[in-house]
Structure 1
């Protein structure tokens, strides 16, 4: 079995930060910028990490942006307006999820460029759909394999390479979902499309791209994953979703309330226990690509979100989490700002030091991506 990320993370190449946890993120009065203050976690960092308060904690960030000291916190923001979500969460988002099509040559667009320039990491899903056509119709995987979109894909790769910052990319997320599986092509064609795109990006010098394989992670879909796996040499991060959709009108059979941990666990356990026999390296970092709950009551909704950091501490391969701050229908609404208890729970969770990494850790990540 081939193991390891697309780019090596040998010890000599991993940047290390020694954090003196007591006051590690403090600055003398008048010296901290507004963004530093927004990004600084609470002063009880050491206790949240389970370390003695006087201990130095060595935090590493690999060249594929895997932190050893906590979890990146992010979102797919409603209307692409991450600033509104950040204001309500009283903190910045580490990662912002955007959605584009295989047929779009101008990736990253102005919005992605702006968010990257402001210091956020961008994660773009390149969908097998025509975003330049009304209704965004599906694109058959066969067309991608045959090179029909090579010009656009090469343009995307050059645009991302020109940013010269780490940039997460997924091709056609949720390929295991019922509405996707075997619809745009076979699993084998999905894999061939994925590899074709990665090869094109590499040929154009987009070495700053971090490849994120994203599936639903739903227990009923796990048996589909082996056939959709592109291979360890073509994937840096593993990713799936953690939702509770109780009462969602487009999911009428969803009657059981799932906690964040309930939703996270099946795919995590499958990857750790069964992944290796299918050639999947279980040591790759995990990103919860989307997560959220519908309204399950005031206290329950607040607790669903506020419990997330403690859950993450028990699943050490998870190193990034993004909320899906959107709605499917009026009866299936995951927007954080539309529910005061969701907003409060998300705010409480986001202030936990385990998901609120110091700004200097981000500096490590950016330097790691440039060291090649």
Structure 2
């Protein structure tokens, strides 16, 4: 293998962009997965993570670094998988832009990134695209077997994707077949070993096509009942830049009849976080890799409770220092399982309040420098 992704925040200064920022995290002046609902039949039993380093009390002037894989040292990127693939209504409703926007594509689609992704990049957002093991060019988006990927049957479209991402010249988050540990996917499209071989095949192909700006995000469900499946699905530290999972509360969700009670955002993210930190190393998983909460949200749990669920997110993030990006899933599974921010004014108010917190408001100066981090790295030499 010729190249591997950067591991965590680049310790060598050549792989990070360092700057002195005055007033980092100043609040803005104005305050205004489609399959993620699947999981084990029984709800997980959560444990709270012990407090770690806190961002609270830091001076306004500090050195902020952003690595070439877009890991910030001074806060958390804030993003969304938007309703009907249109992020602007959400941004207008909550009075801020999203740092990252999640998009969904099929492995058979050659034109990735598409016009929508290119427009968002041009407007200054980062894009995270999940490449599904599905044929998006066919009606119903039928799933394909991992064996077909390993055999190279989709190499032409994958090469075109890699070249398209490389041409952008900016860091671009990519996931292959998110939530491979979920009940609807695990051992259905192939074995865990075949998932790993498919992941590595795609990453190697992208690298051969020059897509070194692709940032690889391994995404799982985060369900406690699925954690024992993760070791067999791990592609290896040289093939993963970020580790990602979901943080949902699904009270009253008609697709989750066994969901009793309410899980806070912290209770939803903690089991996988603790597992990675405690068990990851013995399975070859680097616990120092940055974490992305790939999707999160709650169903309606009452006015005050729904608002508080979202508003409490920045406080929780300060206690889980490896989490460096969060995206809300602004969508619905069914009429009885709705996570849309715009459909619930208390969800909107809570998400708006959370989005104003300095910890999830990285300064524009940090964002601009992040866009150049990968470009600067190209003159440094190959990653080991």
Same fold at TM > 0.5: yes
Aligned to 2:13: 12
Unpaired runs of 5+ residues, structure 2, are 32-53, 379-384
Q: Distance in 1 between matches of 2:103 and 2:23?
A: 34
The match for 2:243 among 235, 238, 245 is 238
The question of whether the paired residues in 2 share the 8 Å contact of 1:18 and 1:58 is answered with yes
> RMSD between aligned alpha carbons?
1.8
Residue equivalent to 1:179: 184
Aligned length: 350
In 1, the alpha carbon distance for the partners of 2:367 and 2:58 equals 24
User: Are the counterparts in 1 of residues 66 and 72 from structure 2 also a CA contact under 8 Å?
Assistant: yes
Aligned to 1:42: none
Query: What is the correspondence of 1:44-193 to structure 2 with a 5 Å cutoff?
Result: 49-51=55-57, 55-193=60-198
Deviation at 1:7, TM superposition (A): 2.8
Partners of 2:247 and 2:349 in 1: how far apart?
19
SS in 1 for 2:320: coil
Q: Supply the distance in 2 between the matched residues of 1:276 and 1:38 (Cα, whole angstroms).
A: 44
Q: How far apart are 1:256 and its partner, in Å?
A: 2.5
Is the counterpart of residue 212 in structure 1 residue 217 in structure 2? yes
Partners of 1:155 and 1:310 in 2: how far apart?
Answer: 42
Residues 158/5 of structure 1: CA separation in 2 closer, same or farther (3 Å cut): closer
Q: What is the CA–CA distance in structure 1 between the aligned matches of 2:70 and 2:159, rounded to whole Å?
A: 24
Q: 1:358 to 1:192 in 2, by over 3 A?
A: same
d(CA) in 2 for partners of 1:95, 1:61: 15
Q: Equivalents in 2 of 1:293, 1:219: separation in Å?
A: 18
Cα deviation per residue 1:8-36 (whole Å; 9 max; x = unaligned)? Answer: 624222111211228x869xxxxxxxxx9
Q: Deviations over 1:207-266 (max 9, x none)?
A: 100000000000000000000000000000000000000100011111121000000000
SS of alignment partner, residue 96 of structure 1: strand
What's the secondary structure of 2:18's corresponding residue? Answer: strand
Query: How far apart, CA to CA, are the structure 1 residues paired with 2:29 and 2:121?
Result: 19
CA distance in 2, matches of 1:148, 1:19: 48
TM-aligned CA deviation for residue 38 of structure 1: 7.5
Residue 282 of structure 1 aligns to a residue whose secondary structure is: coil
| Alpha carbons 1:73, 1:356 under 8 Å: kept | yes
**Post-superposition shift, 1:363?**
1.1
Contact conserved, 1:38 with 1:92, CA < 8 A, in 2? no
Asked whether the equivalents of residues 75 and 324 of structure 1 are also in contact (C-alpha less than 8 Å), the reply is: yes
Distance 1:340 1:38 in 2: 18
SS at 1:273 equivalent: helix
> Which sections of structure 1, spanning at least 5 residues, go unmatched?
27-35, 40-47
CA distance in 2, matches of 1:359, 1:12: 21
Task: Tell me: higher relative CO, structure 1 or 2? Use CA pairs within 8 A at least 6 residues apart.
Answer: 2
Contact 2:26 2:361 in 1 (8 A): no
Native 8 Å contact 1:5 1:284 kept in 2: no
